[in-house]
Amino acid sequence: MKGGMFERMFRFFYCVSAVLLYFCFMEERMMERKDRVINIQHAEPRLPELRLSEPLSWTIEEGQQWAVIGPNGAGKTLIADILQRKVALKAGEVVYGEGENGSDWVRSIAFKDIYSLADCRNAYYQQRWHATETDEVPTVEELLHEYAHEADFDKLLSLFGVEEFLPKKLIFLSSGELRKFLIIRVLLKHPRVLILDNPFIGLDASSRKLLVEMLSRMTELEHFQVVLLLSNPADIPDMITHVLPVKQRRCFPVCSREEFLERKDWMDELFPVLRSDTSLLEEAVLPNSGKQPATHTVTFRMEHVSIRYGSRTILKDLNWEVKNGEKWALLGANGSGKSTLLSLVYADNPQSYANTLYLFDRKRGSGESIWEIKKRIGYVSPEMHLFYRENVPTSQVVGSVFFDSVGLFRKCTDEQLQVALAWMRIFGIEDLRDRLFLTLSSGEQRLALLARAFVKDPDLIVLDEPLHGLDINNKRKAAAIIERFCAQPGKTLIYVTHYPEELPACVDKQFRLVKQV
């Protein structure tokens, strides 16, 4: 009897202990799940061309702020797409915390998606300069109207200085203003995780500082985390706690920000400095087009130029003369009118006819066609980048400069194709010739558009933020090519940047625009 009672008591306590252990285990698992904001286990995309070197396993835990960093084409965008479940998986899974399905859990911002996000798919490159053709384009205020009731709406607008361009049509915003708009629009949706693809490019110094400050404040709140996709270690802000390095679609071990910045071996592997700036310059052997140096005296001259759209003054009583062979930096804060000024030079803005403007020694409107002007100019800009939305082979994009078209394509002759490929080879992207343009990373796309700007051996080269999104080595390579090209006689350069340290050594003159109130 006593033995039976002892056995029953043992079984009772055993069961109670088992139940308690089970609930302790489940509580621990629930806490673990709560701490895990996103858990990626052995994720392997279905399509072979979208795979990393090995399946991705990565956990983002509560309170962590991440940077995914690597050179152009490393696989950063692919990792972000896996994180957002944009890629069909052959194996593995992506699990969001607290059973969320992810529609509002993870948000991302990529500069190239600006117009599609803002329902401006039918916009075209020159449209912003044709005020009568923008009736269908929404204003910033209209696009943000649905969030006006949010408690932090006014605070965000004030922090980024956005109130002043609320009445603007979206298409009239500068590159930097467009970034501010996108960031605010996404933050007002209160995502759990926000992915930012190279968020600092295109912003002037004060706006970059504001963005870091704002993100730092946001990350101090509960239930908000960021993932930055970066191509330069110097861009990693202090608020970042963890780093996922990646190169050639291979992920390095995750580590803390401090550990990553101290790992010189990783830095050397991710961004190897293979050659000196001098050797890069010597190796930049350019194709010989056989073209004679330009002999004009004045590349362009503006006399008392003023540009207005409705009640807004963009440029006021502006005077600027650039002579043949000169090298200028065009500087100014976001929204100061740099793109508008360049639209006059590149013959995209019809208001040039209402102003006194000379191009290549000839007064604008004296009988020359816009095509005669454009054939002498090589041009690249963030705005131009936005309008390459057709998924065509990259060599076709580079060759489109022969027809001075943006986003429209005609077939190149064999001779034209060979010239385009020669410039792709110089920029180190010849292997991308048959890759569809929209499948490239933003850095690879920028290299293709940079190559495009040089293909015609232009007399005037206009480079508006040309190094946007490029990693350290590609920046150095592009800078060497620009230097070598501009060392030739009869080459004039206009270089726009918010990073003075990126200015080519040949630039010895500056023209600064002041934002009109």
- In the prediction, which pLDDT does 150 show? 74
7 pLDDT above the threshold of 60:
no
CATH of domain 279-512: 3.40.50.300
Q: What is the residue type of 182?
A: L
Q: What is the Cα gyration radius of the chain?
A: 27
CA distances from 333 to 177, 206, 326 (A): 10, 9, 23
Contact by Cβ (8 Å): 153, 188 = yes
Name the more confident of 287 and 101.
Answer: 287
Contact by Cβ (8 Å): 506, 494 = no
391 pLDDT above the threshold of 90:
no
Mean pLDDT of 49-62: 91
pLDDT, tens digit, 9 for 90 and up, residues 202-232 = 778 888 888 888 788 778 777 789 999 999 8
- In the prediction, which pLDDT does 12 show? 40
Q: How far apart are the first and last CA of the chain?
A: 97
Mean pLDDT of 9-23: 39
Q: What is the residue type of 190?
A: H
CATH architecture of residue range(s) 37-270: 3-Layer(aba) Sandwich (3.40)
Closest to 418 in 3D by CA, of 436, 408, 433? 433
Percent of the chain with pLDDT over 70: 83
236 pLDDT above the threshold of 80:
yes
Q: Please, is 183 exposed, middle or buried when counting C-beta atoms within 10 Å of its C-beta (0-12, 13-18, 19+)?
A: buried
Helix (H) or strand (E) holding 484: helix 472-486
Between helices 442-454 and 414-426, what is the axis angle to 10°? 120
> Is the fold of 37-270 the same as that of 279-512?
yes
Helix (H, G, I), strand (E, B) or coil at 385: helix
Q: 83 is written with which tokens?
A: 């994180």
Contact by Cβ (8 Å): 78, 52 = yes
Closest to 40 in 3D by CA, of 56, 53, 29? 56
Percent of the chain with pLDDT over 90: 44
Mean pLDDT of 507-512: 96
* Distinct helix (H) and strand (E) counts, the chain: 17, 19
What is the pLDDT confidence band of residue 408, given thresholds at 50, 70 and 90? low
403 pLDDT above the threshold of 60:
yes
User: Residue ranges per domain, the chain?
Assistant: 37-270, 279-512
Mean pLDDT of the chain: 83
The pTM (predicted TM-score) of the whole model is 0.78
